[in-house]
Structure 1
Amino acid sequence: MRGNLFAVAVNLVVLTVRRHRLHVLLIERGEQPFLGSWALPGGFVLPDEDLTDTASRRLAEETGADTGQAVVGYLEQLASYAAPDRDPRGRVLSVGYLALLPDLPDPTPGGDAVASAWRPVDEVGELAFDHERILAEGVERARSKLEYTTLAASFCSAEFTVTDLRRVYEAVWRTSLDPRNFQRKVTSTEGFLVPTSTLVTGGRGRPPRLFRRGPATALHPPMLR
């Protein structure tokens, strides 16, 4: 028999690029249901919170990231998931959130999790609840948004090279991009990148310049996969 629980929860698709591959943050559940299974981080909405409060709290608990600061990352609502049988404890409506973050240190589990880890999205395997669906929709949202927004820079540190940015696109889209065409596109798009006075030295050839993310939010025309 299903439980009598009726609650609203939040689940997070937290994406980053590590070692040139797209990774997602997963937690190992420390309680039933799905004890010992891997899942997306999340939690129930507390009485004094709205949805974004819960998402921001759980994101900070799992990663230490403060998405109130633009240089640290990006957080947006993804979709709602309310299938009657999605949680064996009862009727739990979950609101998915998508977070895009620069590479961070290995995570420390928060809440009721017993472990947490960054996993390549193409090596995730089976997840608890309906989290495979939520993850798939979050990854596709991220891939789409990189076509028409400047959000790729959310995966980068505060200052980065054009090569760093190109590798983000290649990791998220799982493709290779022509370096010259990419550089011409991103440096000619007004407000996308702001050059700094710093050059990266120590490599071969002409030292690349570091950039910061500019004020632009949209790409015109879009950058197609």
Structure 2
Amino acid sequence: MRVTPAIPARQRVHPIIKDLLDRLEQRFIPVKWLANNIKGVSIPVAKTIYIVFLRSLVDYLSPALCHLSKTSLQPLEKFQNKVMQFILGCPASTRIVNMLSELNLKPLVDRIYTNVTYFSIKCLRSPHLAPHYSCVIRAALDPVTPRLSLRPGGRTLVCTVCAACAVFSPTMEPPGGDGWVGRRLPNASSSTYCELNGLLDAVTILTERGLDGVIVCDSKSALHVSKTCL
């Protein structure tokens, strides 16, 4: 029997960061191949590939990453440092500030906070882009600002449902009296089962009312099963 010592709490990687790093490492493989090719790509091209193909993932997740502590975000910073060393061909002893200056890049943690700040300002100027997020920001700046009320049916939905699906239409009137229509699925239901029931409910609502509509689903497994059944 081999006993593996537990990893200290300070060395554990947050699940979101770990999943993101796995994705970044996969995308870093073709970048290394391009740079190690016989002719290779220039430093400006390699930097552009990094910004568009790798760092864009971090930019996309910035609103979620900003809630984590700087300590939790440090693995992302180390990944960018590794990429910069590879692009510039620098030894591990090279100062990080010099590589950032050479490539005209920001520390990744600073960029995450900058992205969220820009997005917050944009939502304050144009609340229609993200009404609920804009309301949360205004409430944080001014506690007197009224918050958007959660509809009566939503309180029960949020408190009791752990895996669910939803159908929304900005133009069609809610089919129920309180604005919510739903049915409880078995506790052991998988996420795919819930998604399939959501697709069925959406089709049922449209066909019962004789309406045309577009149903959007982000579950690859549910779409695959639906395609197979058809």
TM-score by length of 1: 0.26
Structure with higher Rg: it is 2
Structure richer in strand, relative to its length: 1
| Greater RCO structure (CA 8 Å; 6+ sep) | 1
